[in-house]
């Protein structure tokens, strides 16, 4: 083709793109909504790549207020950072905001998990799976979690003897959480704190899913900004490395079929088995309201439980094999990186705040003195009767929420939010990170102050301003699982080890620019407590 022909096509394509995105990027201006200037054709995703989500979230909230508009590619997203609007979207008007952004994943399993499923399909899956996350069911995983925690602590002791106790706490925390999720979800024992990924495929694929290297960040960036057909052309149909996802999907399917074909097998109290056994009676499903689907962090009052009185009144509704596979995969993806990030961030903040660390250690020693680690009493004390431990964990999640934005989608025509007319399928994003750092909600937001979350200060907290697990009927169903794992882990580590910064410890941390708010390099000094 002659050179001038090529230039004609390039100019024509550029002209088309200019006017196409000029029209797209006028959506918020036409509605009188302020916001950052978008970059053609990427919208404001490029701001995250260039400046990082930690900086840009607070900068936008400070400059544009509690309501502003941005663009993800050419798609308009309304960001809200006001607690009353958060309540309206997540709870009060939840039937109008049941779903997240229009799915972009083209994979048979992705559409079936609790995160991506929609409308009645989501409500049915949520109602069936919710009873698997009650206190009683999770208590049955205590021994498995403790087994991983003891192995984690043994690694610390070995490292202290052999390497003077200086290592990357994020790396070993990731190993620990993969150990936990592998054992509690897939009945698979791993040893991520001392492993060779070349000989263990589970470890190789698991440790790489959330590796936000430049290649993976670019893949995510392209996935959320470029048209679906173009992503498919590049083999980027889910935004992540498809080979790693298929490994866990195939493994989950194999475990399910093995257990299905061997009904006399000895059942394990893991998430695969809980999903296989999960059911709800049809008439209960028809009666289920949204409020009952909200996962509780404290008690079981709001959890869906199957009632024996209905056993003879309707048939049981269960999950299909594909739906079980989808949930198991979601639990793995959502259950290891975010928890590892929270554990490593907690130890980092305690290292920088030794007075808080000392207080937590002394409190735990007082609360747990003479109680056997594997006993029910220990489990109850750590998970439900240690307010300062819970306060430390919650303050960490306030300062370092793994997910900085929550998404919902307008499900009705002619809806107004904060007086702004919105078309159906417009995406609403809740700026959780910006809310967590708003001094109107949290005075001195930069200060690590667990006392904010002590019971005597509960009246000072503004509802719907603490959002690490979301809120309302579509909040994180695994919240109690995560709390249990984090508390049990910290109770063991803080009592036995002292954490302090090293000359290599970054202050502040260099968090990922896009994706999960994590830092892969957190060097700390660990010493044995006398």
Characterize 120-132 residue by residue with b for buried, 16 or more Cβ atoms within 10 angstroms of its Cβ, and e for exposed.
eebbbbbbbbbbb
pLDDT for residue 182 = 86
pTM over 0.95: no
pLDDT tier, 443 (very low <50, low <70, confident <90, very high otherwise): very high
Check pLDDT > 60 for residue 110.
Answer: yes
Answer CATH for 24-528 from 1.10.645.10, 3.40.30.10, 1.10.3720.10, 1.10.630.10? 1.10.630.10
Digit-coded pLDDT (tens) for 292-319 = 888 887 655 444 444 444 455 568 889 9
First to last CA, the chain: 78
Residue 81 among known ligand-binding residues: no
What residues contact residue 245 under an 8 Å CB cut-off, 6+ apart? 107, 209, 238, 329
pLDDT for residue 49 = 83
pLDDT for residue 429 = 97
- Which tokens in the block code for residue 22? 């000029």
- In a 10 Å sphere around its CB, with 0-12 CB exposed, 13-18 middle and 19+ buried, how is residue 226 labelled? middle
Share of residues in the chain with pLDDT > 90 (%): 54
Digit-coded pLDDT (tens) for 361-394 = 999 999 999 999 989 999 999 999 999 999 999 9
Distance CA(5)–CA(149), nearest Å, equals 65
Check pLDDT > 80 for residue 196.
Answer: no
In the block, which residue shows the tokens 């779903």? 99
Check pLDDT > 90 for residue 60.
Answer: yes
> Across residues 157-181, what is the average pLDDT?
90
Query: Domain coordinates of the chain in residue numbers?
Result: 24-528
- Which tokens in the block code for residue 321? 């094999």
Q: Among 37-41, 210-214, 317-321, where is mean pLDDT lowest?
A: 210-214
pLDDT for residue 305 = 47
- Which tokens in the block code for residue 476? 């994180």
pLDDT for residue 1 = 46
Share of residues in the chain with pLDDT > 70 (%): 81
């Amino acid at each position: 083709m002659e050179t001038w022909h090529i230039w004609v096509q390039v100019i024509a394509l550029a002209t088309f793109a200019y006017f196409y995105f000029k029209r797209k990027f006028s959506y918020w201006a036409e509605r009188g909504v302020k916001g950052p200037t978008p970059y053609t054709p990427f919208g404001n995703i490029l701001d995250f790549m260039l400046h990082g989500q930690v900086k840009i979230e607070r900068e936008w909230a400070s400059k544009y207020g509690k309501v502003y508009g941005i663009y993800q590619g050419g798609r308009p997203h309304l960001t809200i950072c006001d607690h009353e609007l958060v309540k309206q979207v997540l709870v009060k008007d939840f039937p109008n905001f049941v779903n997240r952004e229009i799915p972009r994943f083209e994979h048979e399993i992705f559409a079936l998990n609790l995160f991506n499923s929609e409308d009645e399909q989501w409500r049915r899956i949520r109602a069936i799976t919710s009873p698997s996350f009650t206190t009683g069911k999770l208590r049955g995983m205590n021994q498995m979690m403790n087994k991983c925690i003891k192995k984690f602590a043994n690694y610390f002791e070995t490292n202290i003897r052999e390497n003077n106790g200086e290592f990357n706490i994020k790396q070993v925390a990731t190993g620990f959480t993969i150990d936990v999720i592998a054992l509690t979800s897939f009945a698979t024992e791993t040893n991520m704190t001392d492993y060779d990924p070349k000989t263990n495929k589970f470890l190789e694929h698991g440790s790489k899913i959330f590796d936000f290297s430049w290649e993976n960040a670019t893949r995510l960036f392209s996935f959320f900004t470029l048209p679906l057909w173009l992503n498919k052309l590049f083999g980027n149909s889910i935004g992540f490395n498809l080979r790693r996802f298929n490994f866990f999907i195939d493994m989950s399917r194999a475990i399910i079929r093995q257990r299905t074909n061997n009904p006399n097998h000895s059942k394990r109290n893991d998430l695969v088995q809980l999903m296989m056994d999960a059911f709800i009676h049809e008439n209960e499903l028809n009666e289920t309201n949204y409020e009952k689907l909200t996962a509780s962090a404290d008690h079981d009052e709001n959890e869906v439980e199957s009632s024996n009185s209905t056993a003879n009144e309707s048939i049981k509704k269960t999950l299909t094999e594909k739906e079980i596979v989808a949930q198991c995969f979601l639990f793995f993806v959502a259950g290891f990186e975010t928890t590892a990030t929270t554990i490593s961030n907690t130890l980092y903040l305690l290292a920088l705040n030794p007075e808080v660390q000392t207080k937590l250690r002394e409190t735990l020693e007082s609360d747990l003195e003479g109680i056997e680690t594997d006993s029910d009493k220990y489990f109850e004390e750590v998970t439900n009767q240690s307010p300062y431990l819970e306060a430390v964990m919650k303050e960490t999640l306030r300062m370092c929420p793994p997910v900085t934005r929550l998404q919902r989608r307008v499900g009705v025509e002619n809806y107004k939010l904060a007086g702004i007319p919105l078309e159906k399928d417009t995406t609403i994003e809740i700026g959780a990170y910006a809310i967590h750092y708003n001094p109107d909600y949290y005075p001195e937001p930069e200060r690590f102050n667990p006392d904010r979350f002590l019971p005597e200060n509960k009246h000072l907290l503004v509802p719907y301003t603490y959002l690490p697990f979301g809120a309302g009927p579509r909040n994180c169903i695994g919240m109690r699982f995560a709390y249990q794992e984090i508390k049990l882990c910290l109770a063991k580590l803080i009592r036995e080890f002292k954490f302090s910064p090293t000359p290599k410890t970054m202050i502040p941390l260099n968090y990922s620019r896009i994706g999960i708010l994590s830092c892969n390099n957190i060097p700390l000094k660990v010493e044995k407590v006398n």
